[in-house]
Amino acid sequence: MGTNEENKNVTILIAEDEESNFLLLKTILKRHCNVLQARTGRELLKVYAEQGADLILLDIKMPEMNGIDALKEIRKQDTQIPIIMQSAYAFENDMEAARAAGSNGFITKPINIVELKKTISKFLPQITW
């Protein structure tokens, strides 16, 4: 099992407006990487511009600016960062819109921990679970 020190240079930015969902993700990830939070699409753009990240977990349904629009804005500046969309409402049109906007993956809520780790590991293989 990896230590926090080994993964200290890896940062995941979680864009999630529901505090309980953020806390669950943070609990799963915090021993394996640094975790940043954004509660709205607009806050995501600000936090990413100021602090950067190695991967973004992005909720589709958020206040101020939804996840699809935030994804499009990030892709104007950065086409390389892995962005994994997440939603409790896994409608095919949401998944298609996310793919068309440039997402790298999609996970559904409630979060399946094994699936989450597997998806993150595709893009950040240096994280040791």
What is the C-alpha separation between 119 and 98, in angstroms, rounded?
A: 16
Whether residue 1 is contained in a domain is answered as: no
User: Does residue 3 lie within any of the structural domains?
Assistant: no
- Identify whether 87 is part of a domain: yes
CATH, residue 31 = 3.40.50.2300
Does residue 38 sit within a domain?
yes
Return the residue matching tokens 């407006």: 17
Sheet holding 105-108, edge to edge: 34-38, 11-15, 55-59, 83-87, 105-108
Q: Is residue 88 part of a domain?
A: yes
Whether 31 maps to a domain, the answer reads yes
Q: Is 86 helix (H, G, I), strand (E, B) or coil?
A: strand
CB 7 within 8 A of CB 124: no
Find, among 112, 129, 121, the residue nearest to 54 by Cα. Answer: 121
Using alpha carbons, select from 91, 119, 99 the residue that is nearest to residue 107: 119
Query: C-alpha dihedral over 18, 65, 11, 20, to 10 degrees?
Result: 0
Question: Is 67 among the domain residues?
Answer: yes
Instruction: Encode pLDDT of 71-118 as tens digits.
Output: 999 999 999 999 999 987 666 777 888 889 999 999 988 899 999 999
Using one digit for the tens of pLDDT, what is the confidence trace for 110-119? Answer: 899 999 999 9
Q: Which domain holds residue 85?
A: 11-121
Asked if the structure places residue 6 within a domain, the reply is no
Quote the pTM value.
0.91
Whether the predicted pLDDT of 3 surpasses 60:
no
Residue type, 1: M
Structural domains in the chain (count): 1
